[in-house]
């Protein structure tokens, strides 16, 4: 879908991915579904052969923070040959940012806060 524009989209990934990440956790199912679909399309432009197989897992982590430990385990078991450049960092950092938001002690869904 993005192939004629992949280079242009790849250059904008540091701006695109954080914005998409915010709407991927939207309360409205339609917004969440469309933004997740868009993230999957945009992530094809990352262009890192080591990270490409993990893109679906990274996207799932943004939607479901409970998947983060398994994703980290999979990434840790990988031998990275290609350097993680500017195109791959936004997807990785967005995944960690979402997981840390829910783990932050002042977040309303934090397990130690009273109901």
pLDDT tens-digit profile of 41-93? 998 888 778 888 888 988 888 888 788 888 888 877 877 665 655 555 566 66
Q: Residue 98 in 3-state DSSP? A: helix
Virtual torsion, Cα 102, 59, 71, 8, nearest 10 deg: -120
Measured distance CA(8)–CA(115) in Å, rounded = 46
Query: What does pTM read for this prediction?
Result: 0.68
The pair of three-digit structure tokens given for residue 22, joined into one six-digit string: 């915010």
Contact by Cβ (8 Å): 10, 88: no
Q: For the chain, what is the mean pLDDT?
A: 76
């Amino acid at each position: 879908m993005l192939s004629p524009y992949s280079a242009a989209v790849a250059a904008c990934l540091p701006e695109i991915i954080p914005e998409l990440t915010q709407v991927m956790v939207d309360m409205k199912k339609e917004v969440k579904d469309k933004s997740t679909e868009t993230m999957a399309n945009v992530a094809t432009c990352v262009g890192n052969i080591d990270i490409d197989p993990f893109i679906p897992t990274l996207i799932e982590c943004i939607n479901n923070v409970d998947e983060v430990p398994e994703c980290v385990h999979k990434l840790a078991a990988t031998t990275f040959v290609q350097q993680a450049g500017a195109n791959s960092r936004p997807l990785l950092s967005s995944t960690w940012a979402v997981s840390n938001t829910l783990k932050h002690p002042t977040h309303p869904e934090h397990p130690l806060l009273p109901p």
